[in-house]
Amino acid sequence: MGVTAVIGLQWGDEGKGKVVDAFCQGADVAVRCQGGANAGHTVVVDGKRFILHLVPSGILTENVICLVGNGVVVDLEVLRGEIEEIGRAGLKTSGRLVLSTKAHVVLPIHKRVEAIQEQKRGDRKIGTTKRGIGPCYSDKCARVGIRVGDILEPSTLAEKIGSLCGTYRDLHNDQPVSSIDENLEHCLRHSDMVKEIAGDAGSLLRRSVSDGKEIILEGSQGFLLDVDHGTYPYVTSSSTGIHGLANGAGLAPTEIGRIVGVAKAYTTRVGAGPLPTLMEEPFQTEVRERGKEYGATTGRPRRCGWLDLSAIRYACALNGVTSLAVTKLDTLSGLEELKLCEGYDYGGNFVNAFAGDLHILKDCTPRYVAHPTWGEIGNLTDSKDLPVAASRYVERMLEAAACRLELISVGPSREQLIRVGR
Ligand code: GDP
Ligand code: IMO
Ligand code: MG
């Protein structure tokens, strides 16, 4: 019993949804802690594919209570759609979902402002998911944002939205942004849903911890997209590591007993920004098609790169990762050649830690080592049956992560999982 955090170690889409789903079997509470509808977490249950953007993946497991924490930025329209979709699939959300009153609301104005900002960036576009994430977090830090709790107080909501819209009117006087009415109407349209699910998610969570419940914190994005430690400015606007999870859930970091880092067996990236280990053709196309590497939120093709051990080393060290979950090992089956990046040549030296600073990273050249390939593994359930080359590959990942192995995922379905033990 205790609190487990699940975090992505690369540029997102590592397969966190599937790993969280695996941990939720037997759990009591699942929590989304940061990010917003920029996340797309896929879980395949009995052949049905669910893509969750805001609701914790724990909703797919009966009796797990799901919390959307204070650190999340919430698109109410997306949330409503997701609740309806889950209901259509025959799963109950009523009484199982609590939205923190402290979470911030993504408004129509945030999406509009983001579009303007991206357009103004010209060829330095971030390639965001267009979900209004950056502007919403900016307003939170500027202390002018709208929180879920504000929607419960309609008498002052109009004034708050008015002052928020006013700041943008002054900033973007050359562009039409979004009216007070539009943003107010958006909030009021969803106020029935908010009334039903809003609550003190943090207190509920802390009580669950005291009661000895099994709790899963579901990270979103990946550590290389962290606003401080990622490839800034080509990052998201939240802290995607363990610190962001604790804070965004409303929990003392010392309560987190197990920190599971999720690493894909290769690297992918969607959106702009460096991917130093980008695969050459035909490998990139082959891996993208085999691994179905298209964004779960935007459908954009993901760039594919060789596994970067220095990135795993960096992310595990900064997050105190205690165990590793390796995903998509099956996608590399049957590749004609395989190589992994052990570190970088930089300024005449070999460095084995990833540089989370673009002015250094731009002068880093990946140093690769060839690795033997292996055949199909999608139906394996015991690590002892893995081909030697695949086992050795996972060992290389563990050496970099400097922790024990917990899971190996060998396919998208719930069952395609090798549990290595706790
Ligand atoms: P997340 O954002 O980290 O939850 O990951 P996404 O859901 O965006 O992307 C992961 C994709 O890989 C999804 O389509 C999953 O269904 C799929 N997936 C997860 N684990 C595995 C695996 O071990 N093998 C294969 N082939 N696909 C997987
Ligand atoms: P999950 O939780 C992959 C990327 C975007 C863009 C950058 C900034 O599914 O792993 P944003 O909309 O957040 O301002 O975009 O971050 N990005 C993700 N990439 N997976 C995600 O989430 C992502 N969330 C944001 O593509 O490069
Ligand atoms: Mg995703």
Give residue 343's pLDDT band: very low, low, confident or very high (50, 70, 90): very high
Nearest CA to ligand 1 atom 16: 412
Nearest CA to ligand 1 atom 14: 42
Q: What integer best gives the mean pLDDT of the chain?
A: 96
Same domain? For 267 and 150 the reply is: no
Give residue 167's pLDDT band: very low, low, confident or very high (50, 70, 90): confident
User: Is 66 near ligand 2, meaning CB less than 6 Å away?
Assistant: no
Q: Which of 192, 217, 245 is the last residue of a domain?
A: 192
Task: Supply the CATH number for residue 69's domain.
Answer: 3.40.440.10
pLDDT at 177: 84
pLDDT at 1: 65
The predicted-structure confidence for 393-421, as pLDDT tens digits, reads as follows 999 999 999 999 999 999 999 999 999 96
Q: Which residues surround ligand 3, an ion (CB under 5 A)?
A: 13, 40, 296
Q: Are strands 349-351 and 339-346 parallel, antiparallel or unpaired?
A: antiparallel
Which of 106-120, 168-182, 391-405 is predicted least confidently? 168-182
Same domain? For 41 and 58 the reply is: yes
Question: Which residues lie below 8 Å from residue 404, measured CB to CB, with a gap of 6+?
Answer: 322, 323, 324, 398, 420
Same domain? For 280 and 368 the reply is: yes
Let me know if 13 is a catalytic residue: yes
Distance (Å) from CA 211 to ligand 3 centroid? 32
Same domain? For 325 and 235 the reply is: no
Give residue 175's pLDDT band: very low, low, confident or very high (50, 70, 90): low
pLDDT at 54: 98
Give residue 422's pLDDT band: very low, low, confident or very high (50, 70, 90): low
Distance (Å) from CA 222 to ligand 1 centroid? 13
Distance (Å) from CA 162 to ligand 3 centroid? 34
Place of tokens 């909030």: 187
Instruction: For residue 257, report the phi and psi dihedrals to the nearest 5 degrees.
Output: -90, -30
Q: For residues 20 and 406, give the distance between their C-alpha atoms in angstroms, rounded to a whole number.
A: 12
* pLDDT exceeds 70 at position 232: yes
Structure tokens at 51: 């893509």
pLDDT at 66: 98
Same domain? For 246 and 270 the reply is: no
* pLDDT exceeds 70 at position 5: yes
Q: What is the mean pLDDT of residues 35-55?
A: 97
Same domain? For 140 and 188 the reply is: yes
Same domain? For 22 and 113 the reply is: no
Nearest CA to ligand 1 atom 9: 13
Three-state DSSP state, 113: helix
- 219 touches 238 (CB < 8 A): no
Structure tokens at 29: 């509470």
Q: Which domain holds residue 297?
A: 263-419
The predicted-structure confidence for 16-34, as pLDDT tens digits, reads as follows 999 999 999 999 999 999 9
Closest C-alpha among 400, 387, 391 to residue 420:
391
The predicted-structure confidence for 244-262, as pLDDT tens digits, reads as follows 999 999 999 999 999 999 9
- 242 touches 259 (CB < 8 A): yes
> How would you write 307-330 as a 3-class SS string?
EEHHHHHHHHHHHCCCEEEEECHH
pLDDT at 168: 86
Structure tokens at 386: 């893995």
> Among 33, 270, 294, which residue has the most ligand 2 atoms within 8 Å of its CB, making it the best to mutate?
270
Q: What is the mean pLDDT of residues 212-241?
A: 98
* pLDDT exceeds 90 at position 169: no
Place of tokens 């979470």: 103
Same domain? For 161 and 207 the reply is: no
Residues lining ligand 1, Cβ inside 6 A: 8, 12-18, 40-42, 44, 291-292, 296, 327-328, 330-331, 409-412
pLDDT at 397: 98
Q: How many domains does the chain have?
A: 3
Q: Which of 260, 295, 311 is the last residue of a domain?
A: 260
Q: Which of 192, 225, 245 is the last residue of a domain?
A: 192
Report whether the peptide linkage leading into residue 282 is cis, meaning its omega lies within 30 degrees of zero. Answer: yes
Same domain? For 150 and 25 the reply is: no
Q: What is the mean pLDDT of residues 179-189?
A: 96
Task: Supply the CATH number for residue 120's domain.
Answer: 1.10.300.10
Q: What is the mean pLDDT of residues 279-284?
A: 95
Distance (Å) from CA 373 to ligand 2 centroid? 30
Same domain? For 240 and 96 the reply is: yes
Residue 359 class from Cβ within 10 Å (0-12 exposed, 13-18 middle, 19+ buried)?
exposed
Task: Supply the CATH number for residue 297's domain.
Answer: 3.90.170.10
Let me know if 104 is a catalytic residue: no
259 DSSP β-pair partners: 5
Three-state DSSP state, 417: strand
Same domain? For 334 and 392 the reply is: yes
Q: For residues 262 and 219, give the distance between their C-alpha atoms in angstroms, rounded to a whole number.
A: 10
Task: Report percent pLDDT > 90 for the chain.
Answer: 94
pLDDT at 171: 74
Same domain? For 208 and 93 the reply is: yes
